[in-house]
Amino acid sequence: MSEGKEKKDIRDVITSGPPVAGLISPSRENLIEPKTKEKEEKFDYERCTHCGYCRHVCKVYNTSWCETDYAGGRNRIIKALDRKDIKFDKEEIIPSIYRCMLCGNCKVVCPVGINTLEVFQNLRKAVVKKGAMPEKLSILRDSILCNNNPYMEQHVDRFNWCEENEYGKEAYERAKKELAAIDEAIAAGDLEARKPKPHKVGYFIGCTSSYRNKELVNATSDVLGKLGIEFVLFPEERCCGSVLFRTGLEDEAMDLVKQNYKMIRESGVSEVVFSCSGCFSTFTLEYTKFAGGKLGFDLYHLTQYVLKTVKEKNLKIRYPKRTKDDPLLITYHDPCHLGRYCGVYEEPRELINMIEGVKLFEMKHNRDMSWCCGAGGGVKALYGDVAGEIGRDRIAETRTCMVIIREDRLKEALETNAEVLVSSCVFCKNNLFQVANEDNSPIKVMDISQLLNECEFYK
Ligand code: SF4
Ligand code: SF4
């Protein structure tokens, strides 16, 4: 574009170009297999054909009806910025960039296989470099950098919950003792002391469970303890950096990655368990990349670890409040970070299906086409109203699902009041729980760790 030529308005950009199709949300069967062959010498967003397939799977677009809010519309903006067709107007551009949960549903349906998550995270990085980051994010960043958590809490309080949890307290003290023993061995010249040991399990708890959702960290510790797993905590644990990665603050996140990674390596554990899907995906993707593809320890989400242990120990699971003939009716919400980010869809379901006294029903949108809860990608912090609306839709979907379930139950001539939405991510649990509460929904929302903690494991 020649110097001095008048810039376009953002509205001209998003309403010009090829017509947007995708008036009907594509079903999984109709999707074109994304192209996996080598990418052309282009940035990913340049390959966007504006087909519009991503438009109707985007929960933000379906809430705001704003053309700048879905992947195809955002790609138009990036192209226009690149060509200098529009100027970077913070007021207009920032909402489009940050009003996205990075849920990855657009990536699943994109017929040309654009890695939208990578494109949008890179875009956020560019915004941060320009110094145009939303104010609220700088508060989050400062808290993480000063306190090692985004909640402005003191780092020394991270393990306060242990005081009232027998298994947690043991795991914390065991860790302290083992670290002291390792240090002693190293001082005595045993250079192998820090090498991973077979079957040594660490539990990485994450900031939200540590400070805000102690019910999850308590339930997870109890489940691991009841399964007879001698786990350790990481007394030096810091924020995993997930929030920073998602919001464009990758450089700041790398310090946390280095510290947490060193801490885990030095603890000598060979298996790390996560109850937070956000921490789990950050370790699976970003930490693994940092370690050159090989971490030196295995990562498990709680659902995977419990399933593995139950199989190894040949255990059965029972939900004692209900029976096989009168089961608790459950529907499972796939967290984006566990499902679309890490491909963990089947283990949680396999685990739930193993529980006697529980029956699992699927919502219409499940697995890789699951709707996001509305809380991801910084949307909850920056645009709480959008997160609320999206969470409300997901709750509404569970209600529809529950009607079907009730009809099913009626067919079986059974009566029940128990209706539970289970997820396996603290952010999903919080957003859906909040909405269900505000709306006086009959749906009870809980995390899978809480469900498992109400179960019995037996031979
Ligand atoms: S991002 Fe993919 S699905 Fe969305 S408009 Fe572009 S090409 Fe189509
Ligand atoms: S990542 Fe999710 S919220 Fe963001 S544009 Fe894609 S579908 Fe919409």
Kindly state if the Cβ of 14 falls inside 6 Å of ligand 1.
no
C-alpha–C-alpha distance, residues 193 and 79, integer Å: 53
Mean pLDDT of the region 432-448: 83
Give the CATH number of domain 315-458; options: 3.30.70, 3.40.50, 3.30.160, 3.30.1360.
Answer: 3.40.50
Question: Each residue of 189-210: pLDDT tens digit?
Answer: 887 888 887 779 999 999 999 9
Q: Which region among 130-144, 150-164, 344-358 has the lowest average model confidence (pLDDT)?
A: 130-144
Kindly state if the Cβ of 336 falls inside 6 Å of ligand 2.
no
Q: Which region among 63-67, 77-81, 84-88, 365-369 has the lowest average model confidence (pLDDT)?
A: 63-67
Kindly state if the Cβ of 75 falls inside 6 Å of ligand 1.
yes
Burial class (CB in 10 A: 0-12, 13-18, 19+), 163: exposed
CB atoms within 10 A of CB 97: 21
pLDDT, position 416:
33
Are 94 and 218 contacting, i.e. CB atoms less than 8 angstroms apart?
A: no
Are 155 and 149 contacting, i.e. CB atoms less than 8 angstroms apart?
A: yes
Nearest to 206 by CA among 426, 372, 380, 382: 426
C-alpha–C-alpha distance, residues 240 and 207, integer Å: 8
Give backbone dihedrals phi and psi of 334, rounded to 5 degrees, phi first. -75, 115
User: To which residue do tokens 């994109």 refer?
Assistant: 110
- Is residue 450 scored above 90 in pLDDT? yes
Sequence-separated (6 or more) residues with CB below 8 Å from residue 430: 208, 212, 213, 375
Where is pLDDT greater, at 241 or 428? 241
Sequence-separated (6 or more) residues with CB below 8 Å from residue 383: 95, 98, 99
- Is residue 246 scored above 90 in pLDDT? yes
pLDDT, position 5:
58
Sequence-separated (6 or more) residues with CB below 8 Å from residue 73: 14, 55, 61, 66, 67, 96
C-alpha–C-alpha distance, residues 112 and 252, integer Å: 32
Distance 244 CA to ligand 1 centre (A): 26
pLDDT, position 44:
84
pLDDT, position 11:
67
Question: Each residue of 312-333: pLDDT tens digit?
Answer: 999 999 999 999 998 998 889 9
User: To which residue do tokens 């809860």 refer?
Assistant: 373
C-alpha–C-alpha distance, residues 443 and 132, integer Å: 40
pLDDT band at 299 (very low <50, low <70, confident <90, very high): very high
Q: Report residue 220 as tokens.
A: 């997870």
Kindly state if the Cβ of 58 falls inside 6 Å of ligand 1.
no
- Specify the residue with its C-alpha closest to ligand 1, atom 6: 48
Distance 141 CA to ligand 2 centre (A): 23
CB atoms within 10 A of CB 325: 8
C-alpha–C-alpha distance, residues 284 and 299, integer Å: 7
Distance 346 CA to ligand 2 centre (A): 23
Kindly state if the Cβ of 383 falls inside 6 Å of ligand 2.
no
Sequence-separated (6 or more) residues with CB below 8 Å from residue 209: 216, 217, 220, 275, 276, 426
Atom of ligand 2 nearest to the CA of 70: 5
Burial class (CB in 10 A: 0-12, 13-18, 19+), 371: buried
Are 237 and 276 contacting, i.e. CB atoms less than 8 angstroms apart?
A: no
What's the chain's average pLDDT? Answer: 85
pLDDT, position 74:
92
- Nearest ligand to the C-alpha of residue 17? 1
Distance 49 CA to ligand 1 centre (A): 6
Q: Report residue 376 as tokens.
A: 């991801």
Kindly state if the Cβ of 105 falls inside 6 Å of ligand 2.
yes
Q: Where are the domains of the chain?
A: 10-132, 157-311, 315-458
pLDDT, position 13:
67
pLDDT, position 14:
64
Element (H, E) at 93: helix 90-98
Sheet holding 231-232, edge to edge: 231-232, 201-204, 271-274, 298-301
pLDDT, position 366:
87
Mean pLDDT of the region 337-360: 96
C-alpha–C-alpha distance, residues 81 and 45, integer Å: 12
- Specify the residue with its C-alpha closest to ligand 1, atom 3: 110
The class of domain 157-311 in CATH terms is alpha beta
- Specify the residue with its C-alpha closest to ligand 2, atom 1: 102
pLDDT band at 410 (very low <50, low <70, confident <90, very high): very low
CB atoms within 10 A of CB 260: 24
Ligand 2 pocket, mutate which of 54, 103, 371 (most atoms under 8 A from CB): 103
- Nearest ligand to the C-alpha of residue 18? 1
Beta-sheet strands, E only, within 247-306: 271-274, 298-301
pTM: 0.89
C-alpha–C-alpha distance, residues 52 and 21, integer Å: 5
Give backbone dihedrals phi and psi of 436, rounded to 5 degrees, phi first. -60, -40
- Nearest ligand to the C-alpha of residue 99? 2
Q: Answer yes or no: CATH 1.10.1060 is held by domain 10-132.
A: yes
pLDDT, position 269:
94
pLDDT, position 400:
58
Beta-sheet strands, E only, within 179-270: 201-204, 231-232
- Is residue 403 scored above 50 in pLDDT? no
C-alpha–C-alpha distance, residues 139 and 118, integer Å: 24
Q: Report residue 445 as tokens.
A: 């929302």
- Is residue 428 scored above 80 in pLDDT? yes
- Specify the residue with its C-alpha closest to ligand 2, atom 8: 58
Mean pLDDT of the region 276-288: 97
- Nearest ligand to the C-alpha of residue 73? 1
At residue 48, what is the residue type?
Answer: C
Q: Report residue 354 as tokens.
A: 């193993």
Ligand 1 pocket, mutate which of 47, 50, 67, 109 (most atoms under 8 A from CB): 50
pLDDT, position 396:
67
pLDDT band at 383 (very low <50, low <70, confident <90, very high): low
Q: Report residue 187 as tokens.
A: 């001082």
pLDDT, position 337:
96
Ligand 1 pocket, mutate which of 49, 69, 70 (most atoms under 8 A from CB): 49
Helices 71-82/90-98 angle, 10° precision: 140
pLDDT, position 413:
26
Distance 109 CA to ligand 1 centre (A): 8
In the chain, the N- to C-terminal Cα span, in Å, equals: 73
Distance 17 CA to ligand 1 centre (A): 13
Equal CATH topology for 10-132 and 315-458: no
- Nearest ligand to the C-alpha of residue 106? 2
pLDDT, position 17:
55
pLDDT, position 398:
63
C-alpha–C-alpha distance, residues 431 and 82, integer Å: 36
Where is pLDDT greater, at 174 or 136? 174
- Nearest ligand to the C-alpha of residue 246? 2
